[in-house]
């Protein structure tokens, strides 16, 4: 039975499995399925189209394609062309998309012909790329980075996080996520997010089958698990809330007996929610991962460990972490909070490089802006994020980007965006907008103004218009004080 060794070219994965199990389904999305043979032959055709369009090692290919069998075909076509696949949300606004494309300078932009950016100048469709091209084998190529996820960035400007690993197999991702060979995996979130992309592809690299949800539905998630005998599941806490909110009699229809592990990440999981999932499915099946897209270091935690360290995200599983106080002094005492700094294990190569940003590095250690504390047993507990990033439904959103869009309005003086608790999504975006006393600006006007500038998921759920300054005497915005006042109901 084929299993690729470390360093095996990702471009050769489909051919290797197609020769062994050509008719086995590798990806399903709704009613569409893709076998290994079809993946191999179809990605050969598309790769030739990409190469003719300029794709090669060192270049990005941008994929504006939703979760689908076409998206997996396109990803492997990129590997066969030697290019780095960059999956972006097809629902990005033109301004957001333009900024990332200017930064990444992709060789090709591939679109879904039925998607919202189908009329983008210079973009090509899957069908056009492969039309009339040979499905014969190509000479192996290796992309310089195997993925290139994006982030809005703490400054409100986009950045691209280029993987430090070339497009070859590695046991790293399957090991940290507990993915086994020939797994049946369910990916419930869009692949333009880093964790869903990495886990879906890791499953495929090990000869498994991935079921992609094209949109999240709580009961459908449970039925897919039973229907396909799913072993490994990716969720975020918002999805866990919605599944748990199903009537008991609905959840009881599904055994979920095939599930070996359910992993959650991307946002903090409330203690009450995690307890209920552990009570429902047992602690050995509930796992959590904490890390950045940069993957320098991270923590993992199984449910039975969590019960002994309630609220923790686990011990450091790979790389190294330490806490620094505001003066840069390392904190060694347990239960004293500080800023989390990470680095790879000494002697290990770089796991990433930024396009469009510089990392926050201090003496070889980097910070993503997260705050936390370690207990006496070395378990990490997260606190507020220094960067003020707000996680809504598992998606990281940077207030600076929304604030920058708001102050583009000529009658907006200052804007501050904070996260407030939400029972469904964990947090909701709340914008506090300072306008002049006689400006006449209305909430409806501001919502219309933002609609063409920000993706839907970045639009504030609530808007608050104020006529007093949001800055203190020192000219500083005290975000935590503004949030605390609203949590206490004073404003």
> Do residues 429 and 397 lie in contact, with contact meaning Cβ atoms separated by under 8 Å?
yes
The per-residue pLDDT for 383 is: 80
CA 241 to chain centroid: 19
Question: Which of the residue ranges 41-50, 276-285, 417-426 would you say has the lowest mean pLDDT?
Answer: 417-426
Whether the predicted pLDDT of 400 surpasses 80: no
Q: What is the pLDDT of residues 272-310, one digit of tens each?
A: 889 999 999 999 999 999 999 999 999 999 999 999 999
> Do residues 86 and 146 lie in contact, with contact meaning Cβ atoms separated by under 8 Å?
no
DSSP annotation string for 415-456: EEEEEEEETTTEEEEEEEEEE-TT----HHHHHHHHHTTS-G
Q: What is the pLDDT of residues 13-23, one digit of tens each?
A: 999 999 999 99
User: In 126-193, which residue ranges form alpha helices assigned H by DSSP?
Assistant: 126-130, 172-177
> Do residues 281 and 225 lie in contact, with contact meaning Cβ atoms separated by under 8 Å?
no
The per-residue pLDDT for 387 is: 61
Whether the predicted pLDDT of 162 surpasses 70: yes
> Do residues 403 and 382 lie in contact, with contact meaning Cβ atoms separated by under 8 Å?
no
Q: What is the pLDDT of residues 183-233, one digit of tens each?
A: 999 999 999 999 999 999 999 999 999 999 999 999 999 999 999 999 999
- CB atoms < 10 A from the CB of 396, how many? 20
Mean pLDDT of the chain: 92
Q: Which helix (H) or strand (E) element contains residue 297? A: none
Q: What is the pLDDT of residues 433-461, one digit of tens each?
A: 998 888 889 999 999 999 988 989 999 99
The per-residue pLDDT for 222 is: 98
Q: Which residue has the tokens 């102050």?
A: 407
Q: How confident is the model at residue 474 (pLDDT cuts 50, 70, 90)?
A: very low
End-to-end Cα separation, the chain, in angstroms: 64
Section 366-370 average pLDDT: 91
Q: What is the pLDDT of residues 94-140, one digit of tens each?
A: 888 898 999 999 999 999 888 777 778 889 999 999 999 999 999 99
> Do residues 56 and 81 lie in contact, with contact meaning Cβ atoms separated by under 8 Å?
yes
Nearest to 261 by CA among 190, 174, 379, 201: 174
> Do residues 430 and 419 lie in contact, with contact meaning Cβ atoms separated by under 8 Å?
yes
Q: What is the pLDDT of residues 54-93, one digit of tens each?
A: 999 999 999 999 999 999 999 999 999 999 999 999 888 8
Whether the predicted pLDDT of 473 surpasses 50: no
Section 357-367 average pLDDT: 93
- Kindly provide the residue ranges of all beta strands, DSSP E only, lying in 36-192, ordered along the sequence: 60-64, 84-87, 108-111, 124-125, 150-151, 159-163, 184-187
CATH (one of 3.40.50.12780, 3.40.50.970, 3.40.50.10440, 3.40.50.10860) for 10-381: 3.40.50.12780
Q: Map out the domains of the chain as residue ranges.
A: 10-381, 390-487
3-state helix, strand, coil in the chain (%, to 5): 30, 25, 45
Residue 147 buriedness (CB in 10 A; 0-12 / 13-18 / 19+): buried
Residue 300 buriedness (CB in 10 A; 0-12 / 13-18 / 19+): buried
Q: How confident is the model at residue 352 (pLDDT cuts 50, 70, 90)?
A: very high
Section 131-157 average pLDDT: 87
* CA count, 13 A, side-chain hemisphere, 361: 11
- Whole-model pTM: value is 0.86
- In CATH, the architecture of 390-487 is 2-Layer Sandwich (3.30)
Q: How confident is the model at residue 166 (pLDDT cuts 50, 70, 90)?
A: very high
CA 487 to chain centroid: 28
């Amino acid at each position: 039975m084929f299993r690729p060794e470390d360093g095996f070219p990702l471009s050769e994965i489909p051919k290797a499995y197609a020769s062994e199990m050509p008719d086995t389904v590798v990806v399903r999305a709704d009613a569409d399925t893709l076998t290994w043979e079809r993946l191999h032959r179809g990605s050969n055709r598309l790769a030739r189209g990409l190469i003719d369009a300029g794709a090669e090692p060192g270049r990005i290919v941008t994929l504006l394609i939703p979760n689908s069998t076409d998206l997996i075909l396109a990803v492997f076509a990129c590997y066969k062309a030697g290019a780095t696949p960059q999956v972006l949300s097809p629902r990005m606004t033109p301004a957001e998309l333009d900024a990332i494309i200017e930064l990444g300078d992709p060789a090709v932009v591939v679109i879904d012909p039925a998607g919202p950016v189908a009329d983008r100048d210079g973009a090509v469709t899957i069908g056009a790329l492969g039309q009339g091209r040979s499905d014969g084998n190509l000479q192996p190529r290796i992309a310089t980075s195997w993925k290139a996820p994006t982030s809005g960035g703490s400054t409100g400007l986009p950045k691209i996080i280029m993987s430090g690993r070339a497009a070859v197999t590695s046991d790293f991702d399957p090991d940290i996520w507990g993915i086994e060979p020939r797994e049946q995996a369910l990916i419930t979130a869009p692949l333009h997010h880093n964790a869903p992309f990495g886990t879906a592809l890791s499953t495929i690299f090990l000869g498994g089958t991935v079921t992609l949800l094209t949109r999240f539905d709580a009961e459908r998630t449970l039925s897919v698990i039973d229907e396909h005998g799913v072993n490994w599941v990716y969720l975020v806490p918002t999805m866990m809330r919605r599944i748990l909110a199903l009537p008991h009699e609905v959840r009881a229809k599904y055994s979920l007996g095939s599930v070996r592990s359910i992993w959650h990440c991307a946002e903090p999981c409330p203690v009450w929610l995690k307890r209920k999932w552990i009570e429902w499915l047992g602690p050995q099946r509930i796992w959590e991962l904490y890390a950045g897209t940069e993957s320098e270091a991270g923590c993992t935690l199984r449910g039975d460990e969590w019960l002994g360290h309630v609220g923790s995200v686990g011990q450091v599983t790979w790389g190294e972490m330490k806490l620094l106080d505001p003066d840069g002094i390392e904190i060694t005492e347990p239960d004293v909070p500080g800023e989390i700094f990470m680095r790879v294990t000494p002697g290990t190569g770089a796991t990433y490089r930024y396009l469009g940003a510089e990392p926050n590095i201090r003496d070889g250690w980097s910070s993503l802006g997260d705050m936390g504390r370690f207990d006496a047993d070395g378990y990490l507990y997260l606190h507020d994020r220094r960067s003020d990033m707000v996680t809504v439904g598992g998606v990281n959103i940077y207030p600076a980007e929304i604030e920058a869009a708001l102050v583009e309005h000529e009658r907006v003086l200052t804007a501050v965006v904070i996260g407030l608790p939400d029972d469904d999504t964990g947090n909701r975006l709340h914008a506090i907008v300072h306008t002049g006393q006689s400006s006449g600006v209305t909430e409806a006007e501001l919502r219309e103004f933002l609609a063409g500038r920000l993706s839907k998921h970045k639009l504030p759920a609530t808007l608050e218009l104020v006529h007093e300054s949001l800055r203190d005497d020192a000219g500083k915005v005290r975000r935590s004080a503004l949030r605390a006042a609203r949590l206490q109901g004073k404003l």
